[in-house]
Structure 1
Amino acid sequence: MKSLVVSFILLFMSISLPGVGQDQPVKIGIAGLTHSHVHWIFGSEKRGEIEIVGIAEPDKELAQRYADQYDFPMTMVYDSLDEMIAEKNLDGVTAFGSIYEHLAVVEKCAPEGIHVMVEKPLAVNMDHARKMEALAKKYGIHLLTNYETTWYPTNHEAYDMIKNDSVIGDIRKIVVRDGHKGPKKIGVDSEFLDWLTDPKLNGGGAIIDFGCYGVNLSTWLMDGSRPHKVTAVTRQFQPENNPNVDDEAIIILEYDQSVAIIQGSWNWPIGRKDMEIYGVDGVVYSDNRNDLRVRISEGYDGYNEKKYHLDDRPAPYDDPFSWFTAVIKDEVTLEPYSLSSLENNMLVVEILDAAIRSAEEGRTVSLQGN
């Protein structure tokens, strides 16, 4: 009788106590392999928070290359996302196809209650973005966007210094620079290059591929404020490599008391992802993932400088897929307009749409609703 009571108590605890089973990896499906950032999730699986249980990729030759590299059986690979969803009990799906395909992924996953993380940016345009947002809200799924710079400890330290410690005073100017020599010059896979330089499948060239980083960071630093005006200039310096899209973009965002200048380029001689944040009293330089500098003004052109070399953030804030797992398990809470949030990334797409229109029409575009 005693053993029966103990068994009943243990059964009740296993049903009633929150967090039981929370240590189990979430089951993740991968939608597409043509985006080379997919290497990231295969590396992250080793951490143990996720289990990749299926891959939807019709190009079997491409899938075989990944299978050989990461030692998974081709039986994991499905011809379509529909087939994978039907056969696997998925907690989440990560999208690694073209940006244009993000909408289709959400259309198939949301009605099944499957959470989605896409690679940056959220969508190719606002029409796609609005449809994705509506589906996510209707079916109650998380719809997240992954940027490499989201996981930089320097960016978060800069945010804390400015927002919590007021180290440099109110923000007056944000300058963000992202890019490299160009996708063909750095030798991206042909499957990636094909859609990355397609204006329909990627939404644009460097203005989308690298302009989105600065818009995302500026939206975060500005607490989700919408800029009043957007002005952009695009150029094409490598027509032989990028015949159908821009490869140079400068975007200027005008806020109430500050501006953001975003430089996304496929023409940097040296790859970079860095940011400068100017306040009334000084400036914070987020030089790369781990190196940060702070200069406090002294006189006309003098300054006191401190340099920091930062360790990576603690788990799960150091890896997108560990963090995706924590969101799915309700272990972390999404803050409004945080870097991966739907609110932030809806505004990112709206601003990018305005920037493309500004560049095409040669004029400043005013955003409504301010």
Structure 2
Amino acid sequence: MDHCMKIFKLLGLPFLVLLLYLNPLSLTGQSTKEPLRLGVAGLSHDHVHWILSRPDKGDIQIVGIVESNKELVARHAKHYGFSMDLVFNSMEEMISQVNPQAVAAFGSIYDHLAVVEACAPKGIHVMVEKPLAVSMDHANKMKSLAKKHNIHLLTNYETTWYASNHRVYEMVQSNKIGELRKIVVHDGHEGPKEIGVSKEFLEWLTDPKLNGAGALTDFGCYGANLITWLTKGERPEAVMALTQTMKPEIYPKVDDEATIILRYPKMQGIIQASWNWPFSRKDMEVYGNTGYLISDNGTDMRFRYKNDKSEQKARLEPLTDPYKDPFSLLVAVINNEIILQDHDLPALENNMLVVEILEAAKKSAHTGEWINLK
């Protein structure tokens, strides 16, 4: 506790923020509700290990899994020990037999629309893995269904759960570095094949229809999501992008290198998404007119103010429930314990803008021109 107090004093944050950071449920108490009945739509996204390996906290019960690939099902069932009685061939079959309250989608990005089409009319909430959709056409249909049937439609990103990003956000909003001038976000790794993703994941991740693009979609969405959050939902005036395929022998159909520039009236956003980094990275640099903030990873950050002689460092404690993983947050949102703002990282409006930015980036990469946003 003393260590955290020193960090928060150094960052210039009030003690109340420290209390909420260490125990965000302390003001309302722990929930005693029944576990959320959760369905899992697809097993081909390797992020599915997140829910299958999640310790039982008593807040979620997996009541059904939809996956038609029997080999994939058998592999996961053997590894995680779940019963084959949980497995269904279609969304309709699962919904009719086990009546989930929410569904988490772990198939291709293209499949997200079909999941919402199956769930929304029945009042079933949906959470998808990033990004929300492969196109604005899909995104608009998903939003329309979510609004019409009054369901929550969330998007999950790993970086949502980084304590460093949340400290950066709080410091930006409290004007610690003045007016924003530039945000640079780096995301990616050596490449999906190079890091050994599953064959099922690789198959659709490198398909321009099923994933929307390559690295531009896979990792460009992180930067668009974070920048939209830090600017509290501000729309860029225009988008410019450059994409390349450095390894056509591995990724012949999609880009593996993407740089996206977002133009704002008084700021620039630069998104560097790559399957060519020498190692995995998810870090961010935020520059204002009186200082900068850098999140190096989930818990480490650096910062310097205009009158400082040197850079300062801080190591933060990981976030606590319900802000430490997507499933805890999903439960809290459904139970009305958390009300998301439109610009929040998992929120629908933020992620509608993310898809719009990515679609503009793809068009810009094709035409070589700035794409103005309406």
TM-score when normalising by structure 2: 0.91
CA distance in 1, matches of 2:296, 2:58: 31
Q: Within 5 A, what are the aligned runs for 1:232-311? A: 232-298=241-307, 303-311=309-317
Q: Which amino acid aligns with 1:56?
A: V
Alignment-derived partner of residue 197 in structure 2? 188
CA distance in 2, matches of 1:330, 1:21: 11
Q: Which amino acid aligns with 1:147?
A: Y
Q: Which residue among 115, 129, 138 is the counterpart of 2:125?
A: 115
CA contact (8 A) 1:178 1:264 kept: yes
**1:124 matches 2:134:** yes
For the structure 1 residues 150 and 36, does the alpha-carbon distance in structure 2 shift closer, same or farther, using more than 3 Å as the test? same
- Structure 1: state its 5+ residue gaps: 1-18
**How many residues are treated as equivalent by the alignment?**
347
For the structure 1 residues 21 and 282, does the alpha-carbon distance in structure 2 shift closer, same or farther, using more than 3 Å as the test? closer
Deviations 1:113-166 (A, max 9, x none): 0000000000000000000000000000000000000000000000001102x1
Aligned-CA RMSD value: 1.5
Q: Which residue among 362, 367, 371 is the counterpart of 1:365?
A: 371
Deviations 1:247-293 (A, max 9, x none): 00000000111000000000000110000000111100000001011
Q: Within 5 A, what are the aligned runs for 1:1-370? A: 22-164=32-174, 166-298=175-307, 303-368=309-374
Deviations 1:65-118 (A, max 9, x none): 111111111111001111000101211000000000000000000001000000
CA contact (8 A) 1:22 1:329 kept: no
- Structure 2: state its 5+ residue gaps: 1-28
Deviation (angstroms), 1:192: 0.2
For the structure 1 residues 273 and 279, does the alpha-carbon distance in structure 2 shift closer, same or farther, using more than 3 Å as the test? same
Deviations 1:311-344 (A, max 9, x none): 1112100010011011111111111210000000
CA distance in 1, matches of 2:49, 2:56: 12
For the structure 1 residues 169 and 21, does the alpha-carbon distance in structure 2 shift closer, same or farther, using more than 3 Å as the test? closer
For the structure 1 residues 20 and 193, does the alpha-carbon distance in structure 2 shift closer, same or farther, using more than 3 Å as the test? closer
Q: Which amino acid aligns with 1:32?
A: G
CA distance in 2, matches of 1:76, 1:352: 36
CA contact (8 A) 1:290 1:311 kept: yes
- Stretches of 4+ aligned residues off by more than 3 angstroms: 19-22
CA contact (8 A) 1:197 1:242 kept: yes
Q: Which amino acid aligns with 2:104?
A: T
Structure with the greater alpha carbon radius of gyration: 1
Q: Which amino acid aligns with 1:50?
A: I
46-55 or 356-365: which moved more?
46-55
Deviations 1:183-208 (A, max 9, x none): 01111000000000000000000000
Deviation (angstroms), 1:305: 2.1
CA distance in 2, matches of 1:21, 1:303: 47
For the structure 1 residues 303 and 199, does the alpha-carbon distance in structure 2 shift closer, same or farther, using more than 3 Å as the test? farther
CA distance in 2, matches of 1:339, 1:282: 24
CA contact (8 A) 1:45 1:51 kept: no
CA distance in 1, matches of 2:193, 2:346: 28
Q: What secondary structure sits across from 1:268 in the alignment? A: coil
Q: What secondary structure sits across from 1:83 in the alignment? A: helix
CA contact (8 A) 1:337 1:343 kept: yes
For the structure 1 residues 366 and 348, does the alpha-carbon distance in structure 2 shift closer, same or farther, using more than 3 Å as the test? same
Deviations 1:213-247 (A, max 9, x none): 00000001111111001000000001111110000
Alignment-derived partner of residue 5 in structure 2? none
For the structure 1 residues 303 and 367, does the alpha-carbon distance in structure 2 shift closer, same or farther, using more than 3 Å as the test? farther
CA contact (8 A) 1:44 1:319 kept: no
Alignment-derived partner of residue 4 in structure 1? none
Q: What secondary structure sits across from 1:269 in the alignment? A: coil
Q: What secondary structure sits across from 1:295 in the alignment? A: strand
CA contact (8 A) 1:297 1:304 kept: no
Q: What secondary structure sits across from 1:162 in the alignment? A: helix
